[in-house]
Amino acid sequence: MTTIPARPVRGSEAGFTLIEALIAIVVLSFGLIAVTNLFVVAASSNQIGNYNTATATEATEVMERLKRIPFNALAPAANTTAGDLANDLPAANLPPASPAEPDVVIGGVPQFNMYRDVAGIGRVRTRWTVQSFTDVLTTPVLLITVRSQVIGPFGGQMSQAQFSTFRTCTGNGCP
């Protein structure tokens, strides 16, 4: 005759109960939610960094273009300011309809604003002023200020960079 072996009696440490499994799932869910939030914050911080880099790059590029222009061609009348950081000048220089390369001088006429579409960023608006201190000082001095802004999808400003520099005329032909 064969006998069936008796089942061993399980103690309280034999396995997980349904309640323990549910508690583990809840704790894991809160951990995953926290990690997901970190990814969202990291992505938005990365986008803000991209905006800041784009505005700084555009402002720096315009500043370098303005520095390449001869002093006398860049200087406005004594003790005056050319350009405007708040408005487009000339007003006809609006955002381009085509992806033409904007410049600080178009057809020999100085421009004081330009727009550029940057991939992954959107439209960057750059405006600048040139202020002359020729009559005040013995050496002619220009204050050049350049401001770039990323324009948001609804027209608002997303990021801004502004740089200023002084430029003097120290060669022949200075006013």
Q: Could you identify the residue written with the tokens 């006429």?
A: 109
Q: Is 119 exposed, middle or buried (0-12, 13-18, 19+ CB in 10 A)?
A: exposed
**pLDDT reported for residue 9:** 61
Residues 6+ apart with CB under 8 A from 66: 74, 104, 128, 130, 144, 146
Can you tell me the distance from the alpha carbon of 152 to that of 146, in angstroms, rounded to the nearest whole number?
19
Can you tell me the distance from the alpha carbon of 52 to that of 159, in angstroms, rounded to the nearest whole number?
6
What are the residue boundaries of the structural domains of the chain, listed by start?
30-168
**pLDDT reported for residue 99:** 47
Tens of pLDDT, residues 143-169? 999 999 998 777 777 889 999 999 888
**pLDDT reported for residue 8:** 62
Instruction: Give 95's Cβ-side CA count (13 Å radius).
Output: 9
**pLDDT reported for residue 90:** 62
